Amino acid sequence: MTQKSRRPRELTYEARARIADNLFLRRRRAELSQEELGELAMVSGGRIGSIENGKVTALLDTYVRIAGSLSITLDDLLAGVTWTPGEIELEIDAGYTVEFEMDAPEHGEGDSG
C-alpha cells in the first residue's frame, strides 16, 4: 500500500501580507536595507523583498535567520498569524498601526511646465 504524499498548503494572501508587514516594519526599525538584512540572514536581498511583497513564503530556517538578524523573536516576525488544523486565521490586532509618510516632490519633479 502506498501513501499519497500531501502537498503543503500555501499560506493565504492575508497571512503572507501580515508576515510581510511585520518584516518590513522590523527591518525599517532596525534601519537596514533589504540587501543588508539579506547579508546578515544569509539570503539574497531579493528574497527579503519577495517576502516583504507577500510573493513567497519562506522556510522555517529562513524565518529563524531573519528574526535573529533583526534581534527579534519568531513571535515578533509572525505576529498576527495563527493556525488551527485545517485553516489559517489572522488576529485582528497586531498591536501596531501602519502609517506611511510621503515626501513632497522636489520642485520640478512631476511638473508638466
Determine, yes or no, domain membership for 29: yes
99 inside domain: no
Task: Report in angstroms the alpha-carbon separations of 9 from 23, 31, 35, 44, 45.
Answer: 22, 33, 29, 25, 25
pLDDT of residue 51: 95
Q: Is the pLDDT of residue 20 over 60?
A: yes
Domains identified in the chain, total number = 1
CATH number reported for the structural domain that contains residue 17 in this entry = 1.10.260.40
Lowest mean pLDDT among 30-39, 49-58, 78-87, 99-108: 99-108
Q: Is there a domain that residue 105 lies in?
A: no
Does the structure show a pLDDT above 90 at 31?
yes
Domain interval for residue 36? 13-84
Percent of the chain with pLDDT over 70: 66
What is the tally of helices (H) and strands (E) in the chain?
5, 2
Q: At what angle do helices 34-41 and 60-69 cross, to 10 degrees?
A: 110
Mean pLDDT score across all residues of the chain: 80
- When pLDDT is cut at 50, 70 and 90, the band that residue 10 belongs to is confident
Please check whether residue 81 is in contact with residue 22, taking contact to mean a CB–CB distance below 8 angstroms. Answer: no
pLDDT value, residue 88: 54
Mean pLDDT on 35-60:
94
Q: Indicate whether 90 belongs to any domain.
A: no
In a domain, 77, yes or no: yes
- The 8-class DSSP code of residue 70 comes to T
Residue 103 lies in a domain: no
CA atoms within 13 A on the CB side of 69: 23
Tens digit of each residue's pLDDT (9 = 90 or more) over 48-82: 999 999 888 899 999 999 999 999 999 999 998 88
Joined together, the cell numbers standing for residue 86 give: 485545517
pTM: 0.69
Residue at 6 is within a domain: no
Tell whether 1 is covered by a domain.
no
